[in-house]
């Protein structure tokens, strides 16, 4: 969640070009993983698309349920308010898509509010909204003197993390948020702004980051390359 709701969260999915493959002609013949960026009216879709292409994925931005359900990987972006983004996600059947993928062992990556909505609930301005409940816990306002938490901050990666493979401890990533989860099951990487919070989580086929890897320079590019590299390529 952020303090202000961008117009993108209050609208339906936007029309964007379909799929983008990495590289040129030679790359078009090489098997690469397919990734859908779920378009539910929220998130930095173009930025996410470009970053995933650079990471080596065949990327499609779409709200199509079948494509989102069957792609090699699914990214769920998100900016704005928890409740508004949950409404947008519900409008495209996002809950069913995500739960169905996880039940089948298909990878999902949530980013920023796309991570927050994976939890059971979110609290904002005294109002509690239900999340998808695929991760236990509540997203609440950070107890920090300055909000939003905006800018670069160190992340302490979980021991054995696949997302952070090759990324040194205390590497900085880019955050923009006022709300976060404090605890979570799985491999939990943390950061600190006023208090320690969940910066990333990995649990089976599910991965999620509170920070924006697509805005996090070389470290974010490495993290996305780690995630894309673990996906099954399209044959």
Catalytically annotated residue among 9, 85, 112, 184: 112
> Residue 16 is encoded by which pair of tokens?
């964007």
By 3-state DSSP, what share of the chain in percent is helix, strand and coil, each rounded to 5?
Answer: 30, 30, 40
Quote the CA–CA distance of 111 and 78 in Å, as a whole number: 6
Q: Are strands 206-209 and 108-111 parallel, antiparallel or unpaired?
A: parallel
User: How far is the C-alpha of 4 from the C-alpha of 173, rounded, in Å?
Assistant: 21
Is residue 135 helix, strand or coil? strand
Q: Which of 60, 124, 202, 214 is catalytic?
A: 214
| Residue 212 designated active-site | yes
CB 63 within 8 A of CB 20: no
Whether the CB-CB separation of 67 and 60 falls below 8 Å is answered with yes
The catalytic residue among 149, 177, 193, 212 is 212
Q: Which helix (H) or strand (E) holds 74?
A: strand 73-76
- Please give the positions annotated as active site: 112, 212, 214
């Amino acid at each position: 969640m952020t303090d202000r709701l961008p117009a993108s969260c209050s609208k339906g999915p936007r029309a964007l070009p379909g799929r983008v493959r990495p590289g040129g002609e030679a790359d078009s013949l090489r098997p690469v993983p397919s990734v859908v960026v779920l378009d539910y009216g929220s998130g930095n879709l173009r930025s996410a698309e470009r970053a995933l292409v650079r990471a080596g994925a065949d990327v499609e931005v779409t709200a199509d349920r079948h494509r989102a359900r069957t792609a090699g990987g699914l990214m769920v972006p998100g900016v704005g308010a928890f409740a508004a983004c949950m409404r947008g996600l519900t409008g495209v059947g996002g809950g069913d898509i995500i739960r169905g993928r996880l039940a089948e062992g298909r990878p999902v990556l949530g980013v920023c509010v796309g991570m927050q909505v994976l939890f059971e609930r979110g609290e904002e301005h005294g109002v509690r909204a239900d999340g998808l409940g695929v991760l236990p816990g509540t997203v609440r306002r950070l107890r920090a003197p300055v909000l939003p938490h905006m800018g670069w901050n160190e992340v302490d990666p979980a021991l054995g993390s696949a997302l952070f493979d090759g990324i040194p401890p205390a590497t900085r990533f880019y955050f923009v948020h006022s709300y976060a989860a404090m605890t979570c099951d799985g491999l939990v990487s943390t950061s600190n702004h006023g208090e320690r919070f969940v910066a990333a989580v990995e649990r089976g086929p599910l991965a999620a980051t509170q920070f924006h890897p697509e805005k996090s320079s070389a470290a974010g590019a490495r993290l996305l390359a780690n995630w894309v590299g673990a996906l099954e390529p399209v044959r």
